[in-house]
């Protein structure tokens, strides 16, 4: 991170990892959203938030990528965003944006972006990333579909980036799309992007080949991208515009399920107390080069491998801040006696919670099986202070301030459906009696 800072390079980091328990299961997110998962993502934040050149965090990458995941995952993505933003507000020395990296599927392109944009500020993303590979080879702004992409997001209120781009179906890549991304046709909607990817892997998107002995060689795509960046137009501040963010969420968004409320957080104690993790810090550079061999495209050894300082991003944190950062404390529900819920109309099944000796949850509570007309039903498990009464969406705003108008509207609709069904039952009974 020190070398990156001196080279003027910022980092956008996904808090998830491929290891078991360190990312959401897109098809059963309730099985992976638990205390240990939150501890992992909070540790990543703790380790990297003290670097000035940590630009932002991704709360997830392509969690929604098909019809099944679109039905069960959106509210869990929003919950992870909420938890990260509250942890940063309480524990980070500075504000760091939290975003999401989305698969560019036309079915969910705008609906998921709008759902993650709306509602309470602490549960909405600060920026939105799109993984797009639609410009391949010799294409134009129109033939590639970039014109439609821009139109779809033109009214989006948050910063937009390409979190991945760089189609490799036509080789070698020429990266013509880079000029379009930084042109006036796009910079009033998109704010640049990240080419996929640095190191060569079996999927053949790499810019650099890294060998087993840690030596490296730049590839043809590296040189092509270097030229594309050099030739790209320079964006101007006048190209950017501001759009007001929607304060309320819609009740329904096309092709995704947003009717379920956000799950209760397992991370309140960690949010308020912090997690134990080594905090990253800059180091004094005694050596700016590398002991490994780096080859150019023709296989010649690159002799000058010393990192030249172009800007010092380390300085701001070297001096103490002028005043302590503002801390936001999540709202905590008032303690109450446990109330046994009534499940006559809406039967539920509650999974057991198993605990290890250190009392860390290893099998967290699962969502309850419910009838489709009961999307807004609450739960009451163990009287632990986080339980919610039946149809408690009205009170859910007190829990981490994440309730939106859509949840309250859902609860009202639920009561209306219930009352209508009762009235119809009375009418039927009366008709039968008269017959």
What pTM does this model have? 0.73
Catalytic residue status for 62: yes
Question: Using CA atoms, how far apart are residues 165 and 161, in angstroms rounded to an integer?
Answer: 10
Which listed residue (164, 201, 355, 401) is catalytic? Answer: 164
Q: Write down the pLDDT at residue 311.
A: 77
Which listed residue (6, 62, 117, 177) is catalytic? Answer: 62
Q: Write down the pLDDT at residue 419.
A: 52
Count of CB atoms within 10 A of residue 34's CB?
Answer: 20
Long-range contacts of residues 364-369, Cβ cutoff 8 Å, at least 24 apart: 364/30, 364/31, 364/33, 364/34, 364/35, 364/266, 365/30, 366/30, 366/31, 367/30, 367/260, 367/263
Question: Using CA atoms, how far apart are residues 16 and 22, in angstroms rounded to an integer?
Answer: 6
Catalytic residue status for 223: no
Q: Write down the pLDDT at residue 14.
A: 98
Sequence-ordered list of residues with C-beta below 8 angstroms from that of 87, at least 6 positions apart, any chain: 42, 45, 267, 270, 271
Q: Write down the pLDDT at residue 366.
A: 32
279, β-bridge pairs: none
Q: Write down the pLDDT at residue 86.
A: 98
Q: Write down the pLDDT at residue 236.
A: 73
Q: Write down the pLDDT at residue 149.
A: 97
In order along its 435 residues, the chain shows pLDDT tens digits of 998 998 889 999 999 999 999 999 999 999 999 999 999 999 999 999 999 999 999 999 999 999 999 999 999 999 999 999 999 999 999 999 999 999 999 999 999 999 999 999 999 999 999 999 999 999 999 999 999 999 999 999 999 999 999 999 999 999 999 999 999 999 999 999 999 999 999 999 999 999 999 999 999 999 999 999 999 998 776 556 678 899 999 999 999 999 999 999 999 999 999 999 999 999 888 777 788 999 999 999 999 888 888 777 776 554 444 443 444 545 443 444 444 433 333 333 333 334 333 333 333 333 333 333 333 333 333 333 333 332 223 222 333 333 334 434 444 444 455 455 545 554 444 544 455
DSSP 276: -
Q: Write down the pLDDT at residue 291.
A: 84
The token pair that represents 366 in the structure block? 């699962």
Question: Which class does domain 2-273 fall in?
Answer: alpha beta
Which of 149, 36, 161 lies closest to 99 in space, CA to CA?
Answer: 161
Strand 54-61 relative to strand 11-14: parallel, antiparallel, unpaired?
parallel
The token pair that represents 273 in the structure block? 């107390």
Q: Write down the pLDDT at residue 319.
A: 40
Question: Using CA atoms, how far apart are residues 343 and 371, in angstroms rounded to an integer?
Answer: 11
């Amino acid at each position: 991170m020190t070398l990156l800072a001196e080279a003027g390079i910022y980092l956008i980091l996904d808090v998830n990892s491929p290891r078991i328990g360190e990312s959401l299961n897109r098809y059963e997110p309730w099985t992976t959203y638990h205390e240990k998962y939150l501890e992992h993502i909070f540790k990543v934040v703790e380790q990297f938030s003290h670097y000035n050149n940590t630009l932002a965090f991704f709360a997830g990458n392509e969690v929604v990528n098909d019809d099944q995941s679109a039905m069960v995952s959106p509210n869990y993505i929003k919950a992870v965003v909420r938890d990260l933003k509250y942890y940063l507000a309480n524990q980070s020395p500075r504000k760091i944006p939290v975003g999401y990296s989305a698969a560019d599927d036309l079915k969910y392109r705008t609906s998921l972006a709008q759902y993650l944009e709306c509602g309470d500020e602490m549960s909405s993303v600060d920026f939105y990333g799109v993984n797009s590979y639609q410009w391949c080879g010799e294409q134009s702004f129109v033939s590639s579909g970039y014109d439609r992409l821009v139109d779809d997001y033109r009214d989006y209120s948050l910063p937009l980036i390409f979190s991945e781009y760089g189609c490799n179906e036509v080789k070698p890549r020429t990266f013509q799309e880079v000029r379009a991304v930084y042109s006036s046709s796009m910079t009033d909607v998109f704010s640049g992007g990240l080419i996929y990817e640095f190191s060569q892997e079996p999927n053949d998107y790499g810019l650099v080949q890294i060998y087993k002995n840690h030596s490296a060689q730049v590839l043809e795509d590296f040189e092509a991208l270097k030229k594309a960046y050099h030739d790209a137009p320079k964006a101007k501040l006048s190209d950017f515009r501001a759009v007001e963010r929607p304060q309320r969420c819609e009740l329904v968004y096309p092709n995704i399920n947003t009717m379920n409320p956000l799950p209760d957080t397992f991370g309140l104690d960690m949010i308020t107390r912090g997690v134990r993790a080594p905090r990253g810090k800059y180091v004094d550079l005694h050596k700016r080069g590398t002991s490994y061999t780096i080859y150019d495209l023709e296989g010649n050894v690159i002799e000058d491998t010393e990192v030249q300082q172009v800007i010092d991003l380390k300085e701001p944190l070297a001096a103490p801040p002028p005043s302590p950062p503002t801390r936001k404390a999540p709202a905590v529900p008032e303690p109450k006696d446990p109330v046994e819920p009534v499940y006559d109309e809406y039967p539920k099944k509650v999974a057991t919670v198993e605990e290890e000796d250190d009392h860390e949850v290893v099998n967290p509570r699962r969502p309850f099986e419910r009838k489709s007309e009961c999307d807004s039903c609450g739960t009451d498990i163990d009287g632990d202070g986080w339980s919610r009464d039946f149809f408690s969406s009205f009170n859910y705003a007190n829990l981490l301030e994440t309730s939106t108008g859509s949840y309250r509207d859902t609860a009202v609709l639920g009561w209306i459906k219930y009352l209508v069904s009762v009235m119809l039952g009375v009418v039927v009974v009366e008709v039968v009696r008269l017959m």
